[in-house]
Structure 1
């Protein structure tokens, strides 16, 4: 029988650390490219040495939205499963290393072609933009490597269940399995378009590419990707934060149900990113918008659970008023404060997501920089700050060092710098997006129009906020380097919360994976099978998107 460990196994720690180190390298390169990008958008700076604006824009998006997130998430989940379900078997650990090296080789290949200017196709790489074939091969390797790591996690969870019959799986391990199942299912879309469309087209094996099919396959992947980012942040909120503050998990069962609902409602919703595109029936767009809005339910469940945890903790300390618990929370502890700022940022971020998903409201902000501002509230604030907060205990736990008082104070300063910078930059993006300022465009693309001149103050505000964010990146990298190699030796806890003593026993029903996956497949077939068939059958020879470029 495998017992829950107090510490992550040393061999597993090396595997997790390898992923986390690559993630923070990606943070530096991608953050630097983002800094250069906002300087160009201000209209006051030109990039030296023939560096292209869309070159740095592509590197910023790919390295932060795909590489940073995927590597950190997989490293965190390997550590979490080792901590809660026992050390990985030699076979599972070897599989994890194979996945890591395939992902790393793919990342290096993709980054190389972006940096030499052969893949300025943006994070979405829409056709008819075309990159060097090495860019697409690298992306495919990243996805395949992540699948291999996912299979290692599935095998480890199955091993725990086999050796602990009749017991519900550890909560953090359960959540990791849900997230990797979501990732495996949704990334089939991007793998299909890269392997079956972009690579053959780039190599000249096909005359063209069905653009609508490629965009649909991308967004089949692109929206669930958001929840692949968010669910690990939710893991920290549900499982770690209660322990950090000295409280209890409000409800183990509610946490599991929210993750199952995210699995259901995050994948068959990609059409809400294609509301303005022809070739998709309004009926199917409507169905997927409804499914998109259903994700509000597990989001509200999460908010209720977290604030219930805070309130019950506060009441146990003597709080009596509605918000009296606020004064008992550990505001001077970066392990709590940094993720909490991420939680608060998700309130306006989630509201913006509802606007993006609404057919009528989307018409106002579609393809404007409002959408960029929204992403910076969700991934670059909610997710990234939660990851930073987790790294402040995870990295020293894995390296055998301590998160000192001085580093804790610096982490709080970093969070404040990040929050102020993001408020300025994202706020300017949202505001000028309402006036029609386009996303993805450099200042030079606006020309000398009067409208472009009205946008200049907002572009300067973005540059100011972006500069503060880059300073925040430098600060967090300094902290991580200290925790990796220079902080004093010691023991740092991997905090895992416990459920309330009075909570009902979690039913084994949650481990009926065949049922959950079947429901997901049914929802996907309902949402995609008929419209996807129409995209192929109703594109006559010679029409845009049929075996040639639009």
Structure 2
């Protein structure tokens, strides 16, 4: 039996409602966060000022929290609920109820955090570093978002375990396996952010403690913050590995290779947070070096993914009679938005991955650290590779759930939207990378460095960012138009949830991939190895009287 053969051809109607609820919140966050991003780049250009006394960092926080945390988390959970329902069957009534509870807990938490940001009581950016302090309600809201996501993850894992009980000795469907890996990665990673919020920042904001240890709070955040990147990325990989082969009419290149790459992401994405702290004191350089090595190991599953994807494309093209080195490219469905939109995201990941290697290298990181280069990298990875793939998923998943059709007009508009996004991001991210190499700082408004001697060198790049950001906002308007159409107005019909299968004959998928005691055990060992001694060192060498929790 091929593990990617699926139990049913459609997402259960009740599970679809749960997925769509997550999508509604995600696209509201996209609209509001995108508007905040537009205002932000206009201010950075030095040609415009925020009205009504709105603060620059208030807008920056809205943009980061809504797009970096809310849009991504809600979209990913909605997609994963649909993927599980499609591949292992409908959720049980109990699991679905837990999923709904998780959704409402997350939504309430999001509303609490958003209100505090809008009241300018939490302008602490999406990283919310101490010594920046937010209102306690902001921290409580973030906690509820994490707890709600745990409930959602638990519902997905229960569906997986139910399938395993009824199918002993069989490998789970590939898409569900990937959901399980990403859910486990998320649960393990969010322990760090939950710890710093509940044990440090919330008691501090409530006045229960006078001070907090910044080194520990930042370390706990980046224990979470780097695997957060892979929590965003792995759902895009799910689409690339499993959905795209079916869309183009090909086959999944290798079930086992796909599973191995996801296991490697689980192992190597969590114990690497120090590479975000290479320039910080209080952490022994030897431990930074160790985590840099672990960071570069993530290159391996990334290259495995690139090989698998382009092997799928070439195999398909050759099967259609393509000849020559790149003749297979002509055989790909360039008029199908379900393929074109994620493919642009794949291409963007090539320079994005190269920039990530620069960020993770201790020597090169010193050149770009805390410059807007990092922001440019962030917008290539999350805001292009990941988000464009999410848009591509939307164009077939929403009509699949709502019982509508992706019309030719919407398909064409979706391709135009992706092209618009690519052009806008080329301007904005390209200008950010260039300005970063000239030393332009990240997170700062134009007025803060406008008088600096080198600021005149940065101004053209800030204007280019404003141009790119404006084009991107047009792209956001287009994708929201498409989403609303597919959710409410497109003609009734059937849209496929494409799930690829492997070629026959295929080697049996090794069951060791689903030995979770093994993989989670190795993950825990790597985390303990990478963090235990540095944490002990931080606690023991904290200034007198701080004990790790009372000094910043």
Q: TM-score range by the shorter chain?
A: over 0.9
Residue 158 of structure 2 corresponds to residue 148 of structure 1: no
> Distance in 1 between the 2:545 and 2:49 partners?
42
Residue 456 of structure 2 corresponds to residue 453 of structure 1: yes
Q: Name 2:68's counterpart in structure 1.
A: 65
Residue 262 of structure 2 corresponds to residue 259 of structure 1: yes
Give the drift of 1:448: 1.6
SS in 1 for 2:454: helix
TM-score (norm 2): 0.98
Q: Name 1:118's counterpart in structure 2.
A: 121
> Distance in 1 between the 2:24 and 2:290 partners?
41
Paired residues for 1:37-186 under 5 Å? 37-186=40-189
- Per-residue Cα deviation, 1:442-496 (whole angstroms, up to 9, x for no partner): 0010042231122111100000000000000000000000001000010000000
2:348 to 345, 349, 353: 345
Give the drift of 1:507: 1.6
Residue 525 of structure 2 corresponds to residue 522 of structure 1: yes
> Distance in 2 between the 1:268 and 1:316 partners?
42
SS in 2 for 1:136: helix
Give the drift of 1:546: 5.0
Paired residues for 1:64-463 under 5 Å? 64-463=67-466
Residue 512 of structure 2 corresponds to residue 509 of structure 1: yes
TM-score (norm 1): 0.99
- Per-residue Cα deviation, 1:368-394 (whole angstroms, up to 9, x for no partner): 000000000000000000000000000
> Distance in 2 between the 1:449 and 1:493 partners?
56
- Per-residue Cα deviation, 1:354-375 (whole angstroms, up to 9, x for no partner): 0000000000000000000000
Give the gaps of 5 or more residues in structure 2. none
Give the gaps of 5 or more residues in structure 1. none
- Per-residue Cα deviation, 1:281-315 (whole angstroms, up to 9, x for no partner): 00000000000000000000000000000010001
The answer to whether the 8 A contact 1:127-1:549 is kept is no
> Distance in 1 between the 2:157 and 2:296 partners?
29
- Per-residue Cα deviation, 1:150-186 (whole angstroms, up to 9, x for no partner): 0111111000000011110000000000000000000
Q: Name 1:477's counterpart in structure 2.
A: 480
Q: 1:228 to 1:3 in 2, by over 3 A?
A: closer
Moved over 6 A (4+): none
The answer to whether the 8 A contact 2:6-2:173 is kept is no
> Distance in 2 between the 1:6 and 1:500 partners?
19
Give the drift of 1:519: 0.3
Give the drift of 1:540: 2.6
Q: 1:299 to 1:477 in 2, by over 3 A?
A: same
Q: Name 2:14's counterpart in structure 1.
A: 11
